[in-house]
Amino acid sequence: MADAAAGAKLATSNPHDVPMGSAAADFPMPLEPLVEAAPTRRPSAAEEARTIAASGNLATLASLTADGDPWASVVTYGTLSDGVPVLCLSRLALHGRNLAADQRASLAISAPIPDGADPSDYGRVTFAGHVEEPADQGELAAARAAYEAAIPSAKVFAEFGDFTFWVLLRVKTIRWVGGFGRMASTTVEEYAAAEPDPVAPHADYAVRHLNEDHADALLDMARAIAGHTDATAASCLRADRYGLDLDVATPRGRALARVGFAEPATAPDGLRPATVELAKRARGQ
Amino acid sequence: MADAAAGAKLATSNPHDVPMGSAAADFPMPLEPLVEAAPTRRPSAAEEARTIAASGNLATLASLTADGDPWASVVTYGTLSDGVPVLCLSRLALHGRNLAADQRASLAISAPIPDGADPSDYGRVTFAGHVEEPADQGELAAARAAYEAAIPSAKVFAEFGDFTFWVLLRVKTIRWVGGFGRMASTTVEEYAAAEPDPVAPHADYAVRHLNEDHADALLDMARAIAGHTDATAASCLRADRYGLDLDVATPRGRALARVGFAEPATAPDGLRPATVELAKRARGQ
């Protein structure tokens, strides 16, 4: 974003009361547009949490030692169809012994961080509750299937059956943090009903592509759709099924802006047609 | 590895008593070489833990809620010169409130996982102990410097000083897990005295390059240095400052083998000359 923002003056006031000339002034702020912008939709906390849980297979488990001390350990996980995390743990490992004695557990998952990116800008989710072994053969089969879908070596480990056991996380609390200042809790019901963002696996590539090859289209969107009619440059920070987050340079300072797709993207390759439509709309086509 | 192992028969017995024909039989086993191999050195648990801690800036913290429940949360961290993790936490976040009330904490860090790789094959480390705020201005300055070196946005966050505080993890326990069946604890003293592996940032690339372009050299090493004189193929699984781990196909089955460098690599670009020397030695040059 440094390039797109080059030459932009700093805002003379901002809602965060950040000292001017400080490093914090490099953050784009929620500067009001000059012309009212169309209302936009953002992913809900439940959707963000589902998307993060669906993005990988590596998490960290917090369990309690015999002394009641916290114990963090890296684990692999899969997710059931309602997004509930499933673990396959060793009875010999400390976390396995911990959970056998005290079922209280918490699991944290980070969104994938591109090489060299600042992890503070990316989402993470925490689940808390307790673990339970599958109650019957149906739950066990579902747990195995979920885990094996996520972990290539699962079939091998499962044969060491004396050493491993399956647990489902019975979730009580779900907390999502989306980066600086974006965070919310969600309920288990909302989480189960939400769908992972279908475009998430391609979003980083799309953002890079937009910034490298379509800066002019982003600037058109910032001016015509986000209402920053005086924008001098714009870059894309994030893309999701509902739209794009833009970092907009104006003579008044830098602004965070949101531009929404005409329809939510519903397929993995949905970002391209949705952004093409946005660009055309911005140009009055 | 599937390619290099293609055509290799399965071992008729192995020390893990894995059922033949099962998925677990796809694992290379510690099959004895036909000719005694040169002794080799492996990174210590302390060195593995230092290397993992130095490899990134994203960890998961386990803290205790007011009810004594475990709470896992994704955090960013830096490391002091002795490898001790340093965090900068928000007083408003649950983990900040947790630690203000109960300083017991654990931190888990995973080695970087290449895209598409199985996380079970990569190392992770758990620290456990308690957190403390820096005791004086000197400790505070060291904590800030360590954190800012690891986290690009640290200078920005630090200006929101009312909301954040610095903590050092006073470590009591360090547990390293290197993948299936490789694990050990280490002491705080050994950890502090160990050095992160200087070649770690380039090891994945080197392994890929060896497998793609120098399969013949790896086979020579397996035969002449690792003592598997009947080897029919070899690929590299891991590279570290002391040597290479090889997956060797033989008519007797697949074997895990280790070949050691003449001298430990001491610089980031040390893998190339060390492997060239190994290849020459394998060819009697």
State how far the Cα of A275 lies from the Cα of A216, in Å rounded to an integer: 13
Q: What is the pLDDT along chain B (285 residues), one digit of tens a residue?
A: 333 333 222 222 233 333 333 334 455 666 888 888 878 899 999 999 999 999 999 999 999 999 999 999 999 999 999 999 999 988 888 999 999 999 999 999 999 988 778 888 889 999 999 999 999 999 999 999 999 999 877 776 555 556 778 888 899 999 999 876 688 999 999 999 999 999 999 999 999 999 999 999 999 999 999 999 999 999 999 999 999 999 999 999 999 999 999 999 999 999 999 999 999 999 998
User: For residue B171, which residues of chain A lie inside 8 Å, CB to CB?
Assistant: none
**ipTM attached to this prediction:** 0.85
Half-sphere exposure of residue A255, counting CA atoms within 13 Å on the CB side? 24
Q: Is B5 helix (H, G, I), strand (E, B) or coil?
A: helix
In percent, the amount of chain A with pLDDT more than 90 equals 70
State how far the Cα of A282 lies from the Cα of A6, in Å rounded to an integer: 23
| Chains A–B, number of C-beta pairs less than 8 Å apart | 147
Scanning every residue of chain B, which has its alpha carbon at the shortest distance from the alpha carbon of A89? B120
Higher pLDDT, A54 or A36: A54
Q: What sign has the CA pseudo-torsion B248, B218, B119, A239?
A: negative
Asked if B24 lies within 8 A of A126 by C-beta distance, the reply is no
State how far the Cα of A47 lies from the Cα of A111, in Å rounded to an integer: 13
* Residue indicated by tokens 């689940």: A127
User: For residue A128, which residues of chain B lie inside 8 Å, CB to CB?
Assistant: 65, 69-72
A90 alpha-carbon distance from chain centroid:
29
Any bridge partners for residue B167, and if so which?
A: B87
User: For residue B126, which residues of chain A lie inside 8 Å, CB to CB?
Assistant: 71-74
Asked if A128 lies within 8 A of B71 by C-beta distance, the reply is yes
Any bridge partners for residue B104, and if so which?
A: B130
User: For residue A156, which residues of chain B lie inside 8 Å, CB to CB?
Assistant: 23-24, 26-27
Range A132-138 average pLDDT = 92
> Could you tell me the two tokens for A94?
């400390």
Please tell me the CATH superfamily of domain A197-285, with its number: PNP-oxidase-like (3.20.180.10)
Scanning every residue of chain B, which has its alpha carbon at the shortest distance from the alpha carbon of A176? B73
Asked if A24 lies within 8 A of B159 by C-beta distance, the reply is yes
Architecture of B46-193 per CATH?
Roll (2.30)
CB-neighbour burial class of residue B174 (10 A; exposed 0-12, middle 13-18, buried 19+): buried
State how far the Cα of B136 lies from the Cα of B208, in Å rounded to an integer: 47
Asked if A72 lies within 8 A of B94 by C-beta distance, the reply is no
| Domain residue ranges of chain B, discontinuous segments joined by + | 46-193, 197-285
Scanning every residue of chain A, which has its alpha carbon at the shortest distance from the alpha carbon of B88? A120
A57, A108, A153: residue with CB nearest B72: A108
A57, A120, A155: residue with CB nearest B23: A155
Whether the Cβ atoms of residue A114 and residue A123 lie closer than 8 Å to each other: no
State how far the Cα of A177 lies from the Cα of A122, in Å rounded to an integer: 8
Mutate which: A17, A98, A103, A106, vs B, most B CBs within 10 A: A106
User: For residue A61, which residues of chain B lie inside 8 Å, CB to CB?
Assistant: 72
Q: What is the pLDDT of residues A192-214, one digit of tens each?
A: 999 999 999 999 999 999 999 99
Whether the Cβ atoms of residue A237 and residue A206 lie closer than 8 Å to each other: no
Among A108, A88, A109, A201, CA closest to A152: A88
Q: Residue B77: count other Cβ atoms within 10 Å of its Cβ.
A: 24
How far B16 CA sits from the closest chain A CA (Å)?
10
Asked if A60 lies within 8 A of B72 by C-beta distance, the reply is yes
Angle at B211 between CA B206 and CA B214, to 5 degrees: 90
Asked if B60 lies within 8 A of A58 by C-beta distance, the reply is no
Q: What is the pLDDT of residues A230-281, one digit of tens each?
A: 999 999 999 999 999 999 999 999 999 999 999 999 999 999 999 999 999 9
User: For residue A74, which residues of chain B lie inside 8 Å, CB to CB?
Assistant: 60, 108-110, 119, 124, 126, 177
State how far the Cα of B123 lies from the Cα of B128, in Å rounded to an integer: 17
Question: For A180-184, A223-227, B132-136, which range has the lowest pLDDT when averaged over its residues?
Answer: A180-184
Report pLDDT for A285.
Answer: 84
User: For residue B124, which residues of chain A lie inside 8 Å, CB to CB?
Assistant: 73-74
State how far the Cα of A156 lies from the Cα of B118, in Å rounded to an integer: 12
How far A230 CA sits from the closest chain B CA (Å)?
27
**What is the secondary structure of A102-126 as a DSSP string?**
--EEEEEEEPP--TT--GGGS-EEE
Among A78, A32, A31, CA closest to A54: A78
State how far the Cα of A233 lies from the Cα of A254, in Å rounded to an integer: 10
